[in-house]
A and B are shown apart, each in its own frame.
Chain A
């Protein structure tokens, strides 16, 4: 039996980073794909904490909330820094990624037609924060000298943003290098080239 099980819709959505991280850490993942029709019946929803997917199982431990999952896997798979100070900074970075992801989600699901232009125009203001951190750290990672769950989360979000605005990283050399470097990690590369992963839409409404 696979050590981990993920129950989610057939989209990358909030689980892209988690899948990339598990692939890179050479961990098996069993996936239960849920259709929107199944979800609307309400039986599964009733069993989910806060009535939301994704649902992630690590043996008898059942997790909800995608960032709680990332943190848990970070702790288990040495992707949460080398000490308390690094762990705190990784939390800071991950929360910064989450802030930007929430803005992206709001655009995709609520304001795509009316807000896309403004979002893309404002994007450099958000990206420069991460650019500055990477440029200052000089290791190719957000914090310290090894990959963390915040790196996987930022990487996943940047892939989505590049689909939305292909030139968005052109003026951010450290971010561009960051994406290239993580994309080239053998197991990440294999996942990104895998048909099952490639064919998944990014979002549930077809907008990207």
Chain B
């Protein structure tokens, strides 16, 4: 079953950005419907499309999928970005879960009260340097890919996550040469290179306007 892929989310990164990255890496074109008003969200709710009353929502292959990790799993499986066997898939899951944990720490920062921001960023930097990046540096010691001998969703997540970290902490990869080399190799892939160009569907870091829109559309969560 084919047909167009449609993403329903805000005009910003959030939990949809990893989905945009993965679709781009797979060379899949997609359309976006941006939520700017609460009425749009309420309409999706009343249509029964949001099983857990949350976006992202992705229309793909005749399905309306929610839950970002589930959506990523489906895309990875469909476009051969999920390893060649059970063992590889399990390892890809481990790395992907960890990278999504890391990105979610960054993702919530626009909604952190100003007085807590410094502490939050310090915590992200510390965890990235001590807990996360060493794992990936080690995994890339003797390989161009995190798992197996071909590109997987874990590689795409690692590139996205490390670029996000560098936006916040420009020198954070200074002591991780393998990750730096990995980044360059990934950026050279045509589909990734295209996604990194201006004018692509890649979203900029969240700003005040993005935070305001999210709070307005999801006002029931920000009482």
B190 at the interface (CB under 8 A from A): no
**B:45-80 near A, CB below 8 Å:** 51-54, 63, 65-70, 73-74, 77-78
**A:109-164 near B, CB below 8 Å:** 125, 129, 132-133
A5 at the interface (CB under 8 A from B): no
Q: Is the CB of A71 within 8 A of B69?
A: no
CB neighbours (8 Å) of B131 from chain A are 50-51
- B: contact size bracket: 20 to 34
CB neighbours (8 Å) of A72 from chain B are 86, 89-90, 93
A197 at the interface (CB under 8 A from B): no
Question: CB < 8 Å: which of A65, A92, A95 contacts B98?
Answer: A65
B97 at the interface (CB under 8 A from A): yes
B135 at the interface (CB under 8 A from A): yes
Question: CB < 8 Å: which of B74, B86, B94, B132 contacts A91?
Answer: B74
B87 at the interface (CB under 8 A from A): yes
A92-B67, A95-B67 known; A65 and B73 CB under 8 Å?
A: no
Dominant SS among interface residues on chain B? helix
A-B contact count (CB 8 A): 75
Whole-angstrom distance between the alpha carbons of A61 and B89 in the complex?
11
CB neighbours (8 Å) of B91 from chain A are 61
CB neighbours (8 Å) of A88 from chain B are 63, 65, 70, 73-74
Whole-angstrom distance between the alpha carbons of A49 and B93 in the complex?
12
Question: CB < 8 Å: which of B51, B65, B78 contacts A129?
Answer: B51
A13 at the interface (CB under 8 A from B): no
* Minimum CB distance partner of B139 in chain A: A49
Q: Is the CB of A129 within 8 A of B94?
A: no
Q: Is the CB of A68 within 8 A of B77?
A: no
A50-B98, A84-B77 known; A92 and B70 CB under 8 Å?
A: yes
A76 at the interface (CB under 8 A from B): yes
Taking the nearest CB of chain B, how far is it from the CB of A172, in angstroms? Answer: 15
A49-B98, A95-B70 known; A129 and B52 CB under 8 Å?
A: yes
Counting chain A CB atoms within 10 Å of each CB, which of B53, B67, B86, B101 scores highest? B67
Taking the nearest CB of chain B, how far is it from the CB of A79, in angstroms? Answer: 13
Taking the nearest CB of chain A, how far is it from the CB of B132, in angstroms? Answer: 7
Question: CB < 8 Å: which of A67, A75, A84 contacts B97?
Answer: A67
Whole-angstrom distance between the alpha carbons of A129 and B51 in the complex?
6
Q: Is the CB of A65 within 8 A of B93?
A: yes
Q: Is the CB of B52 within 8 A of A85?
A: no
CB neighbours (8 Å) of A91 from chain B are 67, 69-70, 73-74
CB neighbours (8 Å) of B87 from chain A are 61
Taking the nearest CB of chain A, how far is it from the CB of B43, in angstroms? Answer: 18
* Minimum CB distance partner of B132 in chain A: A50
Whole-angstrom distance between the alpha carbons of A95 and B52 in the complex?
10
A61-B87, A75-B89 known; A92 and B66 CB under 8 Å?
A: yes
A4 at the interface (CB under 8 A from B): no
CB neighbours (8 Å) of A125 from chain B are 53
CB neighbours (8 Å) of A68 from chain B are 90, 93-94, 97
A107 at the interface (CB under 8 A from B): no
CB neighbours (8 Å) of B130 from chain A are 51
Question: CB < 8 Å: which of B53, B78, B90 contacts A71?
Answer: B90
Whole-angstrom distance between the alpha carbons of A22 and B119 in the complex?
41
Q: Is the CB of A64 within 8 A of B94?
A: yes
A38 at the interface (CB under 8 A from B): no
Whole-angstrom distance between the alpha carbons of A88 and B60 in the complex?
11
